[in-house]
Amino acid sequence: MTVLNNTLTFRRGLTLKNRVIMSPMTTKMSFFDGVVTQDELNYYSLRSGEVGAVITAAANVQDGGKGWEGELSVASDKFIPSLSRLASTIKRNGTKAILQLFHAGRMTDSKVLRGVQPVSASAIAAERPDAETPRELTEDEIYHLIEDFKKATERAIKAGFDGVELHGANTYVIQQFFSPHSNRREDQWGGSLEKRFNFINQLVDGVISVVDNSNVQNFIIGYRFSPEEYEEPGIKMADTIYLVDKLADKELDYLHISLGDFKRVSVSEEYKEKSIMQYVHEKINGRLPLIGVGDVRTKEDAENTLANAELVAVGRSLIIDPHWTSKVLEGKEDTIRRVLADQDREELMIGNGMVEFLDFMMPERLR
Ligand SMILES: Cc1cc2nc3c(=O)[nH]c(=O)nc-3n(C[C@H](O)[C@H](O)[C@H](O)COP(=O)(O)O)c2cc1C
């Protein structure tokens, strides 16, 4: 069985000092235009140094992809100096820095976009209260979007990050192309499972070519996905098994599942015998490492996650206790802070925007 403090070397040669990764978490702390703030640097500094790698909050690759206020941006070269500060803040004591790249697609609104209508694969609104109907992207705009992910990757390299993660999870634009709910196209980008995968296929190949044609050494390219949607039609486990099989054959460094609970079982009748992670891990079959995630609070949870993954991502536990990793690795679990008290927020560098998000994600752990 994999031990938490074992190293791991990725396909392109980068080695992580242990198997714990800080899960990507939006801080809502950036300036209005997406520049990193000092508060945000302090937040990351507090949580770097112990984990093998930190995956940053989602950073938008295009102005039209901004999902919320206080979001990080990598949409133009002007962000490179501020992103460099973020990368060097994270790269303390051997921790590696991975920039998460995303575009919100239909999961934003014209207020956040200052009067501009959101875009997506098709003009179908998300099933959530007050969701705006997006405008369908033209073929040219789709190629432009892929180019913008590639440019964002170049900027991450210039800023000194150790890698990028393509955020194909949590209902944002990459997932919107794969989902039969948000993608109703009948051209080369939609209409069948294979065609719904076309955007991801071209995006991943494009980003891989940017990295492999640059002079950067030991860079990581990861891909995150959500295994199931509850909408009808929506992404089901069978679609995800197809996606994972395709992606595992690419020159990616890792796949990263997005789950609220690492033990979660599928809603599909045909996939109920094992956990979702186990099905995914078995499909990958050692072709590349999988990052598991979801409500990991104890060493035992982390070790159980590693039964079906090579790496474990920890989110909320690291917000509440930035030293969760050293306490787990050094056998001091009894000293882990498990509840976020209001008076601890300043010391933990947790801003107002993040508290709103946390309130929604973990009410039972807030006091
Ligand atoms: C405050 C907050 C912000 C998040 N932001 C992101 C994000 O930007 N990108 C992403 O892929 N996941 C995001 N997530 C999901 C986490 O990465 C993680 O998958 C989830 O919280 C489950 O892990 P945990 O139980 O260890 O927190 C966020 C979660 C929280 C709590």
Bridge pairing between strands 15-16 and 135-136: unpaired
Q: Return the bridge partners of 168, or none.
A: 225
Going by the DSSP 8-state scheme, the letter that residue 262 receives in this structure is: T
Pairing of strands 163-168, 119-120: unpaired
pLDDT tens-digit readout, 227-241: 999 999 999 999 999
What CATH number does the domain located at 8-365 have? 3.20.20.70
Residue among 21, 23, 276, 311 whose CB has most ligand 1 atoms within 8 A, to mutate: 23
Neighbours of 58 (CB within 10 A): 27
> What's the 172 CA to ligand 1 centre distance in angstroms?
13
> Which pair of tokens denotes residue 162?
């150790």
pLDDT digits (tens, 9 = 90+) for 250-294: 999 999 999 999 999 999 999 999 999 999 999 999 999 999 999
Q: Is 324 helix (H, G, I), strand (E, B) or coil?
A: helix
Model confidence over 6-64: pLDDT tens digits?
A: 999 999 999 999 999 999 999 999 999 999 999 999 999 999 999 999 999 999 999 99
Contact status, residue 336 vs residue 32, Cβ threshold 8 Å:
no
Atom 9, ligand 1: which residue's CA is nearest? 24
pLDDT of 316-358, one tens digit each?
999 999 999 999 999 999 999 998 888 888 999 998 888 777 7
- pLDDT higher than threshold 90 for residue 164: yes
Of the candidates 332, 331, 350, 322, the one whose C-alpha atom is nearest the C-alpha of residue 29 is 350
> Ligand 1 pocket test: which of 22, 26, 311 has the largest number of ligand atoms within 8 Å of its C-beta?
26
DSSP label at residue 343? G
CA distance 210 to 154: 7
CA 362-364-366 angle, 5° bins: 75
Distance CA 49, CA 97 (A): 11
From CA 167, how far away is CA 202, in angstroms rounded?
A: 15
| Distance (Å) from CA 227 to ligand 1 centroid | 15
Examine the residue annotation and report whether 172 is marked as an active-site residue of this protein.
Answer: yes
Cα angle 284, 285, 287 (rounded to 5 degrees) comes to 70
CA–CA distance from 235 to each of 185, 258, 289 (Å)? Answer: 15, 14, 23
Kindly state if the Cβ of 175 falls inside 6 Å of ligand 1. Answer: no
Query: For residue 293, which atom of ligand 1 is closest to its CA?
Result: 23
To test the pocket of ligand 1, the residue of 25, 258, 362 to mutate (highest count of ligand atoms within 8 Å of its CB) is: 25
Determine the pLDDT at residue 363.
60
How far apart, in whole angstroms, are the C-alpha atoms of residue 58 and residue 24? 7
pLDDT category of residue 364 using cuts at 50, 70 and 90: low
How many CA within 13 A on the CB side of residue 233? 14
pLDDT digits (tens, 9 = 90+) for 119-159: 999 999 999 999 999 999 999 999 999 999 999 999 999 99
> Of these residues, 43, 44, 172, 279, which one is catalytic?
172
Residue 203, ligand 1, Cβ within 6 A: no
In this predicted structure, the answer to whether residue 367 has a pLDDT above a threshold of 90 is: no
Whether residue 43 contacts residue 29, with contact meaning beta carbons closer than 8 Å, is answered with: yes
Q: Is the pLDDT of residue 296 over 90?
A: yes
Atom 3 of ligand 1, residue of closest alpha carbon: 25
Q: Which sign, positive or negative, has the C-alpha torsion 28, 31, 34, 40?
A: negative
